[in-house]
C-alpha cells in the first residue's frame, strides 16, 4: 500500500501543499475509512484503496466532474500489477471512485464507508459534514461530532 500511495503521490497533478485534494486529504480519508470500517463491516482493503485513488486524478481544485471516472480507470489499469482485488472488490472500488462526488448515498457498507470517509473531511475546506449526506449509521454519528473530537477518534490528531 505504501508503494502504491507513493506512486500516486508522485503523479498527482496539483500542487501538493496548497490543494485541498492533496495526499494529506487522502491520508485523513484513510483514517476515517479505517474507523468507519470497524463499525460498518466494509471491505477495508477497498476503503483504503479508495482513499488514495479517489482524488488522485484531479486536474483542478474547482469543478472537475471527470476526476472520479479518471481515478476509477486508473485503478482498473493498476489492478493486478500494483495491487490485487477480487472482481467484486474492484467493482466496488470503481463505483466508489466514479461516483464519490455526486452527492448520493449508498446502502452498500463498503461504498457507503468510502463516501462517508471522504465527506467527513469536508471541514478541511470550511464545510461541516452533514449527517443526512452520510450513507452509514456510524458516519451519521461521526458527522454530528465536533471536528476535533472526530479527528481524535480517527487518529488524525492527538
- At 98-115, the pLDDT tens digits run 999 888 999 999 999 999
Measure Cα distances from 16 to 12, 23, 71, 145 in Å: 8, 7, 17, 28
Superfamily name with CATH number, domain 2-154: Hypothetical protein af1432 (1.10.3210.10)
CB 110 within 8 A of CB 93: no
Taking the model in full, what pTM does it have?
A: 0.94
- At 35-85, the pLDDT tens digits run 999 999 999 999 999 999 998 888 888 888 999 999 999 999 999 999 999
- Domain range list for the chain: 2-154
Amino acid at each position: 500500500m505504501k508503494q502504491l500511495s507513493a506512486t500516486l503521490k508522485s503523479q498527482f497533478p496539483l500542487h501538493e501543499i496548497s490543494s485541498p485534494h492533496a495526499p494529506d486529504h487522502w491520508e485523513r480519508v484513510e483514517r476515517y475509512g479505517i474507523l468507519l470500517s470497524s463499525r460498518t463491516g466494509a471491505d477495508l482493503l477497498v476503503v483504503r484503496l479508495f482513499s488514495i485513488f479517489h482524488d488522485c486524478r484531479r486536474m483542478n481544485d474547482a469543478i472537475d466532474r471527470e476526476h472520479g471516472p479518471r481515478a476509477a480507470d486508473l485503478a482498473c489499469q493498476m489492478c493486478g500489477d500494483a495491487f490485487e482485488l477480487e472482481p467484486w472488490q474492484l467493482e466496488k472500488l470503481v463505483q466508489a471512485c466514479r461516483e464519490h462526488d455526486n452527492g448520493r448515498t449508498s446502502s452498500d457498507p463498503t461504498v457507503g464507508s468510502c463516501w462517508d470517509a471522504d465527506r467527513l473531511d469536508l471541514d478541511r475546506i470550511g464545510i461541516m459534514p452533514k449527517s443526512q449526506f452520510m450513507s452509514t449509521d456510524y458516519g451519521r454519528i461521526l458527522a454530528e461530532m465536533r471536528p476535533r473530537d472526530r479527528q481524535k477518534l480517527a487518529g488524525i490528531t492527538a
